[in-house]
Amino acid sequence: MTVAVVQFGGSNCDRDTVRALGALGVEAELVWHEDGLPDDADGVVIPGGFSYGDYLRAGAMAARSPVMAEVRAAADRGTPVLGICNGAQIGCEASLTPGAFTTNESARFQCEHVHLRVENADTPWTRRYKEGEVLEFPIAHGEGRYEVADDRLAALAEDDRILFRYCDADGAVTPEANPNGSKHSVAGATGDRGNHVAVLMPHPERVTLADVASTDGADLLRAFED
């Protein structure tokens, strides 16, 4: 399994992601977007950062770059694809996942640890967690507020495609525990092509190495071992 971590101009969590995956024993490599996806890519991560300076909207430019057509084709073939933070914004802009991540309710960039409740433990990304388990992940974004039409949100919930919701330390989903005003407190969701495609705003790769912080995110990235 080689995981391609796609670098755009302005990506800045690309190396962290490769290192975190490497620490888990998952082979991963940086792939410059202009070079295209390698043929042997068995997984794809669209990492965090500020691709193209967040021009127009966060993720808008990268989503329309040629490599994303390759990522969509790979997703169509069943290749696992994970978008983290800016990668989540790109994933939504590229129609890998429904909805959009837009300006935080606070209108500020927020860099803090948050709690996430595992909503569905029956996906490749969450199967190592328990439903209802509370994780601590960091967020670092200015445009992380999840927006989606009410009927699409209802369908997402109905189809069990919400991975994580922001919650308090006890797992209660409350307005106070919602850091950015995300609709329904959604922090991550799976794609229209199936649960092998997912996006989330919090950073699992920043809570994977034991010498950095907690390791709550490691079990999510271990999906690439499967």
Partner 1 sequence: MTAFTATVEVRLKRGVLDPEAETTARALERLGFELEELRSADRFEVDIDAESADAARERATEMAERLLANPTIHDYEVGVEERRA
Tokens of 171: 């797992």
H helix intervals, the chain: 14-23, 60-63, 66-76, 86-93, 150-158, 218-221
With a CB cutoff of 8 Å and minimum separation 6, the contacts of 9 are 51, 52
Nearer to partner 1, 32 or 109 (CB): 109
Residue with Cβ nearer partner 1 (15 or 72): 72
Catalytic pick among 85, 141, 143, 167: 85
Binding residues vs partner 1 (CB under 8 A): 56-57, 60, 64, 92-93, 98-100, 102-107, 145, 147-149, 181
- Burial zone of 136 (CB within 10 Å; 0-12 exposed, 13-18 middle, 19+ buried): middle
Catalytic annotation present for 85:
yes
Annotation marks residue 205 as catalytic = yes
CB of 189 to partner 1, least distance (A): 13
Minimum distance from residue 103 beta carbon to partner 1 (Å)? 5
Given the residues 70, 93, 119, 205, select the one marked as catalytic.
205
User: Which of 113, 85, 100, 103 shows the shortest CA–CA distance to 11?
Assistant: 85
Instruction: Summarize the chain as % helix, strand, coil (round to 5).
Output: 30, 30, 40
Pick the closer one to partner 1 by CB: 111 or 210: 111
* Closest among 159, 158, 157, 152 to 173, alpha carbons compared: 157
Least separation in angstroms between CB 50 and partner 1: 17
Minimum CB separation of residue 192 from partner 1 in Å reads 13
Residue whose CB is less far from partner 1, 148 or 220: 148
Show which residues are catalytic.
85, 203, 205
